[in-house]
Amino acid sequence: MAASIKPSKKAPKTPEAPAPERMTGADAVVRSLEALGTDIVFGLPGGAVLPLYESLFAAHTLRHVLVRHEQGAGHAATGYAQATGKVGVCIATSGPGATNLVTPLADAYLDSVPILAITGQVGSPLIGTDAFQEADIRGITMPITKHNMMVRSAADIPAAIAGAFHIASTGRPGPVLVDIPKDVQNEELDFSWPPVVDLPGYKPNTKPHSRQIVQAAKLIATSKRPVFYIGGGVIKAGAHEELLALAEETGVPVVTTLMALGAFPQSHPLYMGMPGMHGSVPAVGALQEADLLIAVGTRFDDRVTGDTETFAPLAKTIHADIDPAEVGKIREVDVPIVGDARRVLSQLLDVFKEGKANAPKIGAWIERLNELKERFPRGYDPQSDGSLSPQFVIETLASQVGTDAIYVAGVGQHQMWSAQFLNFDKPRTWLNSGGLGTMGYAIPAALGAKAGCPDKEVWAIDGDGCFQMTNQELTTAAMEGFPFKVALINNGNLGMVRQWQTLFYDGHYSHTKLGGEVYVPDFVKLSEALGAEAIRVTSEDEVIPAIRRAREINDRPVVIEFIVGEDAQVWPMISAGASNSDIQYALNIRPFFEQEESVGTAPEDIDDVVELGSEQEKGN
């Protein structure tokens, strides 16, 4: 006979749940967002979300930011999420409003950013009739969202919003879309919180297997040329402190991908740089010559690996990721670990600190990588025509602003120069579109970052091509009070495309030139018309005064237009699909620490091929 359990007489009474409150589905959306801790949403009203906007009109704690284009709402939500670690929320109406969110949803999906998109839909009786402004946004976004759903009953709204937040922010983060027909927004329900959330089959595995941790520690302890290959998942997991402690405990060098800049202090002696197509020679060399890759929170992206057949050819691989689908997808793995990056690094650290494994003896390896650091410092070739070098602009910006600011980059040459010449010692200080490579990302994402971190200095670094896609959100920033700064790198061209045309298409500049002898558009006048302060800079001696002036203005956004040479290129470079061992490095560079003189001589061909890997078996 089973024993009965009598409750203690001293046990406190369970507080009674508050009585359900009668309200509309639209009110329930707002109340659910407030209950989940949302403080700000980005959106643009339209017919199918008018009930929701009626509820937002009376919201007590929820601030709505009126963007000028729904794409801006999506990127702003992404910038907010990347800067804060919270779920970013955006709202759009049905049809074209919803489809304007496709690009930011795809962007967030590829970069694993937790955002919630709430879209209005035509009334339930009209669905499937090709009604005015009807679009099957669920079907359209199914491949680019972590999850999406249509709410058919107002009573389901609290659970739908709570479930969307949970899915977006747990496991591998990502975008979730909730589509709500207009009649469901008007329908009444008895609202109570918290709702019962039932997500059958959704159980992310965050706890790594202890046996795999031990196997990984053994591989690290016996390796001679190990390297931590760190991806953006480490930042998303909040694992930067554990990474630093483990690297220092083991002495293993670290490289961080484009999405992971700031996950490990760049000022640290164990830091080797960013690998990939425009990575540093020490970082690329570390991967190519390694005998062990300790890959954490990274997906072996093609921009890092190049030719996968020749990527890190002698290295065994430990791959830890929260998403089991990524482990072994691109590269065969010797020790697979599925789990949260913070837990993985913490448990590995415990193994070494408790003496269950010894730090590897890798003095010769560190010496080799430090040699690469000395031989191939970051630098650039000054413009032969005497025009302003974009690298100088970004390098100077870094020296003036420091590492506490949040930097948001668009896509292209300015993005790569920013990754190379800014300094990142802290996580969530570098935001960019890595996976999708979305032009137009920077301005609205900087707006979102400033909204989420109002006490932080936020700089958008954009190109003239990217800027012309989403500059209308400067008006949003001016009207809503988000005074971020913009460093606009204007070379009059689609710069990265022009670089490829220079190198691989015999200089046939097919439709990449944006400017002319006159400034069209005049970015100073355009920025001023949009509500921003604007400054134009054409020479090196104007750079620092302009940056200082911009930092003094805090009541509106500021745009500094830097007129730079059109022939500046991004080096180092690995051609698409080529082996990382064939990294090309410009010889006639000006090192960042030696501004007055160039290093080497200037050959007719500005690049030289550095062969990596030939010394893999020599003395290591």
**Among all residues, which ones are annotated catalytic?**
70, 132-133, 182, 496
What span, in angstroms and rounded, lies between the C-alpha atoms of 65 and 63?
7
- From the CB of residue 384, how many other CB atoms can be counted at a distance below 10 Å? 11
What span, in angstroms and rounded, lies between the C-alpha atoms of 83 and 81?
6
Q: Are 381 and 532 in contact (CB under 8 A)?
A: no
User: Per this entry, what is the length of the chain?
Assistant: 620
Q: How far is CA 560 from CA 177, 448, 524, 525, in A?
A: 36, 20, 8, 12
What span, in angstroms and rounded, lies between the C-alpha atoms of 437 and 440?
9
What span, in angstroms and rounded, lies between the C-alpha atoms of 419 and 195?
43
Query: Identity (one letter) of the amino acid at 249?
Result: E
Contacts for 208 with CB less than 8 Å, ≥ 6 apart: 320, 337, 338, 339, 340, 343, 344, 347
Burial 341-356, CB ≥16 within 10 A → b, else e: bbbbbbbbbebbeeee
Q: Are 583 and 572 in contact (CB under 8 A)?
A: yes
Structure tokens at 438: 């979305």
Query: Could you check whether the bond before residue 265 is cis, i.e. omega within 30 degrees of 0?
Result: no
What span, in angstroms and rounded, lies between the C-alpha atoms of 103 and 267?
35
Report helix, strand or coil for 469: helix
Query: Tell me, what DSSP letter sits at residue 617?
Result: T
Structure tokens at 286: 């570390």
Contacts for 610 with CB less than 8 Å, ≥ 6 apart: 281, 376, 583, 584, 585
Query: Tell me, what DSSP letter sits at residue 618?
Result: S
What is the per-residue DSSP string for 88-131?
Answer: EEEEE-STHHHHTTHHHHHHHHHTT--EEEEEEE--GGGTTTT-
- From the CB of residue 285, how many other CB atoms can be counted at a distance below 10 Å? 30
Burial of 85 (0-12, 13-18, 19+ CB in 10 A): middle
Contacts for 485 with CB less than 8 Å, ≥ 6 apart: 457, 458, 459, 460, 550, 551, 557, 558, 559, 560
Residue with token string 């329930």: 28
- From the CB of residue 181, how many other CB atoms can be counted at a distance below 10 Å? 22
Contacts for 591 with CB less than 8 Å, ≥ 6 apart: 377, 378, 379, 599
